[in-house]
Structure formats: C-alpha cells, structure tokens
Structure 1
Amino acid sequence: MTAAEQREVPPVRRGARRAELVALASRLFRERGYHGVGMRTLAEAADMQAASLYHHFRNKEELLLEAIFVVDRDLIEDQLPILDGPGTHRARLARLVRAHVRHIAANRDAWWVASRELRALSPEKLDTVQVYRRRYQHRIAEHLADGVRAGEFDCPDPRLGTLAILDMLNGLNEWYDPAGRLTIGEIADRYAELIIRQLGP
C-alpha cells in the first residue's frame, strides 16, 4: 500500500447509534435496492425525524458508504492483524479464513450491499473502497508468498491464489442460510481446512 493510498484511507468511525442506522440501511438496501430507499423511508424505519437522521449522515450515499465499509474497512482493519500474530503461516491463514467466514454470517446485509450496490458510489468514494480491497488482497498475497518461502505453502502464484481464496470465501454470502445443515462455526472450520489443504506442499 503506497503512502498516497494510506492517506486516502479514512479513520474507522464507530458509535452504537450510527452502527444501528447502518445496519438498518443495509437491510433496507438489500430488500428494496439502494435507489428504492430514500432518507425519509430510512428515518421512518428508524423511528426518528429525518432531520435527526441527517445529524448522523449528510446524505444517503454516506449511509451506503458506511454500509460498504462494514465489509471493506472494518473487516480488513480487524482481520489483517491476524496475519501478523503468533503461529505458523498455515495457522494464521486458517484463523483469518474462520474470522472472514464469521464476519459474513454476522453482516449478511452489508455483504449483499457491498457486492450489489458498489457502483452507486461516486468515483471518489469508490476509489476509497478499492484502496481497502487492494490492501487486503496485497497482504494475503504477501502472506502466501512468505509461507511458500517458509516451506508451508505450495502456491506458485500468490496473487492468483489470493483471488481464488477470496472468491471462495465471499461466495458464501450467496448461499449461506443460518437455518441450514451446518452451523457457521462448522462452515468456518471446513473452509479453513479446505483452503489450507489446497495450499499444502
């Protein structure tokens, strides 16, 4: 990640009420589409005056950005330290995979919005999101390359390997059902096992 890209990354913003509003907006965007939901509708669903909603968010696009940031900022800020933690390269990647899977299950609406409504963002805000995505991809590829040098992975193309891993993980949001055959913990463990097995020397 270049110094210029680092400057583009805004600080993580938190707050219980903002988080509630972002979760609500994510659900409505998923149910009706981004262009099918207005600020008045969002305010009514939150049981608040529109003016109060504007106190938290300047406009609907800012709400959309925050919903996408649940996936493309908060996930990444929380996940990347896993790869710098203790343990082998295999163990650290397995922990990251499990955390990624659990994040999808806990934030299904935001994941849907991040995959379906990304192009509704202005070019400037879209670029900000892409900075985070590139950062995540680059760090995982770097970890795979380090694991190859350590003799733990057999991955001749870490960049392509990273894209394959992320495609597998992110596809979970298309089919995961909380009432399905497997718990999210079981799915997380099996995904980790599958990915580590495929990368085994």
Structure 2
Amino acid sequence: MVIRVLVAEDMHIVRGALVALLRLEPDIEVVSEVASGDEILAAARTSRTQVAIIDIDLPGKDGLTAATELHEQLPEVRTLILTSLGRPGTLRRALAAKVNGFMLKDAPAEKLANAVRGVAAGRRMVDGDLALAAWDTADCPLTPRQIDVLRLTAEGRDTLEVAAKAFLSTGTVRNYLTTIVSKLNARNRVDAIRIAKEAGWI
C-alpha cells in the first residue's frame, strides 16, 4: 500500500530535497507540499494525507500547534516532526503535542523513509539518544506565571507591555524577571530566554 504524505517546510530548497528523496521510495507518495503552518489542516484534509511531515519552525502557526490541530481534527493523520532543533526540550514539547515521530533534518534519507513507514503503521518513531536526553533533562524551576512573563518578554515586549498583557504591575514584572534570571543561573534576561527556549520551557 502506498503511504500518502504531506510535507510542511517553509524553506523551498529543503522542501524540494525532502520531496525528491521521498519520491525515490516506491511505497511513499507526496500528495501535498505547504510552506506555512496555517495551510496544513486544509491541505491534509483535501489530499487525504496519511502522514504529515512537519517542520517545527514554520511561519503562521508553528509546527507543534499545527500538529496538535491535526491530532484533534484529523486524528487518522499521523504526524512526524522533522527539524534541525534537536534539543531535548523541543522533543518533550513535541511529545506533549502527541506527535507520532520526531526526526532530525540531518538524519539519513533511509531513516526518514523508515520513520514515515513506522508512524503510518501506528508506531512512535523517535531518535533514541534524543529520547533518553529528553527524560534526563531537569524539570522547569519556573512557576507558570514566571513562564508567562518570560514568554511575553521573549516576544520582544517591554516591561509595560508585559505588565498590561499579564495583568500585573510593572514592579511585579521586574521582580519576576529578576527571580527568573536567578533561578536559571542566567547572566541577564536575554540569557534566561535562551536557556528556557533550549530546554523547551517557552
């Protein structure tokens, strides 16, 4: 049986290479290509996709949001995250979004094809070393409120904007950010954002 595949990747050259590699496989057919997260659900529905290969870092909806949407609205579609972001925190977020597989972009072509076959058959396909690292990574030391403040700050908002958005005083926001920097042993706010992103906490 031929597996019907959708490829979601915003970089044209990368998408073209993925499609070309997959088309070499006799049991895999690329039925749809999209460049943004906003297009995935509609494209999967109209092309009767069985496996959606999704990059995390997409314009519009990010890949994990799109994968969650697929899981909720088209549960028969299996999702395989393909990304250059091989950090354990990213994998934890992907698994929380109920994706069926997680592969790095630099994986051999044969490994990608086998991952497509695996998720199509109902198996969860995750890079073994990355999976172990994901569960070895320490739990987030920040409270949900602190995560909200850091996420808003990471979006480029200043203290006033963060305060308004989070319904806090500017003084409380500053205190939160000072606490966050301290908890993460960061040098400053920018470093705290980097640490939290790498761990998959924001």
- TM-score with structure 2 setting the length: 0.23
Bigger share in helix: 1
Q: Which has the higher contact order (CA 8 A, sep 6+)?
A: 1
Bigger share in strand: 2
